Amino acid sequence: RGQHFDYKKSDEWPNEYPICAGDRQSPVNIELHHVRSMEPGRPPLGRFGYDKKPTRMKIVNNGHTVQLSGEWPAKDTPTIYGGPLTGLYELAQIHFHWGPDNTAGSEHTVANQSFPLEMHLVHWKKSYENISEAMLHDDGLAVIGYLMSVDKNPNTGLERMRASFNKILRPQQTTEIEPFPLTLFDLDLLKEGYVTYVGSLTTPPCNESAIWLLSVRIKDVTMDEMDSFRKLRMENHNEHNYRRVQPLNGRSITYYYD
Ligand code: 1SD
Ligand code: ZN
């Protein structure tokens, strides 16, 4: 289980995974003057479950990223709806993208500027059977992304995670962590607005099944937190795990606010 691919050879991904050369790929560069405003009258983005403590929580070094997942009683599973989405989207996992120094790391860029860290919260549409099935549909996933830049304010969620990073320094290592509600990441979610566009997974097989919602508010990450991510060994000696930005091909990027 799990795909094998090398970030140093991302131009070759289409040889094995043809969709990676498709025309609605992610990530993309966001040019603020190209962003258009939403049509009025959209239901605001809503969520529930983010404040509920899971019964179990674990982090895994899957060789491409560190991935956090939890188990909640069904009614408490973090879920989003509204905004550009139709139907309910349930959280599957949270993971991160970074680079060897602060000049790069994020997947999405703003006015061609990169950020050191990007956090992805991957949700799948509950009207599909499961996440694998959802990935086969053009509205199957909703991924919330946060760009983060270095500042002095520690993030409680990141601190809780990185306290156990020494147990997952190598690919395929997993450890349970003390469960905490996702509100500890201080995701006072997208209240200041977000941009949304239709795109893809940023990793092979690059399925064109994701609706992206990117916070316009940049979050903080400390230098110590960045160092912890950079100590995690990835597959193929990869020192970064972000994909280069992909052509928009006429897609529009829309600004949403509640
Ligand atoms: O890179 C992740 C990949 O690990 C997997 O989580 C996939 C969804 O199953 O999503 C991509 S991403 O597009 O969220 N980067
Ligand atoms: Zn990602």
How does pLDDT run across 170-202, given as a tens digit for each residue?
A: 999 999 999 999 999 998 768 889 999 999 999
Q: How far is the CA of 200 from the centre of ligand 2 (A)?
A: 10
Q: Comparing 193 with 228, which gets the higher pLDDT? A: 228
Asked if residue 230 has pLDDT above 50, the reply is: yes
Instruction: Give the DSSP H or E segment for 14.
Output: helix 13-16
Q: Indicate the burial class of 192 (C-beta count within 10 angstroms; 0-12, 13-18, 19 or more).
A: exposed
Q: How far is the CA of 220 from the centre of ligand 1 (A)?
A: 22
Number of neighbouring beta carbons within 10 Å of residue 150: 14
Query: What average pLDDT does this structure show over 95-100?
Result: 98
Reported ipTM: the value is 0.94
In angstroms, the CA 219 to CA 151 distance is 9
How far the first Cα of the chain sits from its last, in Å, is 40
Catalytic annotation, pick one of 33, 64, 237, 240? 64
Q: What mean pLDDT, rounded, does the chain reach?
A: 95
DSSP codes, 188-210: -TTTT-EEEEEE--SSTT--S-E
Residue 146's nearest CA partner among 116, 184, 124, 125 is 116
Give residues (CB < 6 A) around ligand 1: 64, 95, 120, 122, 143, 201-203
Active site residue 34: no
How does pLDDT run across 131-160, given as a tens digit for each residue?
A: 999 999 999 999 999 999 999 999 999 999
